[in-house]
Chain A
Amino acid sequence: MATSRDDFVIAIRSAFLKKGNKQRFSLVALILFSIVLIVLSRINFPAINYLKIGLNEVVYRVSFIVSLPEQQLNRSLIAINNHLNLYNNHDQLKEKFKSLRGKELDNEYLKFENERLRKLIDEYIINTEELVAKVLLDKESPFLRSLILNKGSKDKIRIGMAVLDGPYLVGKVVEVNYATSRVLLISDLNSKIPVILEPGDIQSIMSGSGKNNGQIQYFKTENILNEKKIVFTSGSGGIFKSGIPIGEINSGEEIKFFSDLSQLTFVKVVSFNKENN
Chain B
Amino acid sequence: MPIAEHLKPSLIELLLAAADDKLMLGHRNSDWTGLGPILEEDIAFSSLAQDEIAHAQTLYEFLSPIAAKDENELAFGRTAEEYRCATIVEPHDEFDWAAAITRQFFCDHFDRLRFRRLAQSNHKPLADLAKRIGAEEQVHVDHADSWMRRLGRGTTEAKERAQKALDQLAPLTATLFEPVDGEPALEKDGIYPALEQPMIELWRREVDAVLKDAGLSAAFTDVDPTKKGGRRGIHSKAFSELLDEMCEVYRIEPGAKW
Report if A and B associate in a common complex. no
Partner-B contacts on A (CB < 8 A): none
